[in-house]
Amino acid sequence: MTQAPNRASPVALATGSTSGIGAAIARRLSAKGYGVVLHALRSAQTGHAFALALGNAIYVQADLADDADRVRLVREALSWSGRLDVLINNAGVSWVIPMPTSWPRLPLSGKRCMRSASWLRFD
């Protein structure tokens, strides 16, 4: 755990903030003087290292689909900082969707294909 922010400093909780856009948001907030509560579901080692690198941050691992974990996330944020001013709801999930091994051939090409393809459904 890193040092808690100055009580006068605003504090932001950014979900999904150990990589990508969430990490960029966390870096920017930290640079602007915010205390940052980093969050991710699976990236504990990365999250702790990122919090140390920022200096004015803490990492809390939590499953946002679980009520108890959401409550714990906010409680840990408040315990660390004494306040919470901003919430950035950046966390997301993704699934791998199997693609068909072959696609139907369409007797269309170019612009006509793009206009006509709007009726296609991939159920």
pLDDT digits (tens, 9 = 90+) for 59-70: 999 999 999 999
Domain of residue 72 covers: 11-56+67-83
pLDDT at 43: 86
Q: Which residues contact 77 (CB under 8 A, 6 or more apart)?
A: 11, 13, 37, 58, 60, 84
The answer on pLDDT for 113 being more than 70 is no
For 13-67, write each residue's pLDDT tens digit: 999 999 999 999 999 999 999 999 999 998 899 999 999 999 999 999 999 999 9
Give the span between the Cα atoms of 97 and 110, in whole angstroms.
Answer: 27
pTM confidence score:
0.73
With respect to residue 5, please indicate whether it lies within any of the assigned structural domains.
no
With respect to residue 105, please indicate whether it lies within any of the assigned structural domains.
no
**Mean pLDDT, residues 108-120:** 47
The domain total for the chain is 1
Q: How many CA atoms lie within 13 A of 9 on its CB side?
A: 19
Give the span between the Cα atoms of 66 and 27, in whole angstroms.
Answer: 27
With respect to residue 62, please indicate whether it lies within any of the assigned structural domains.
no
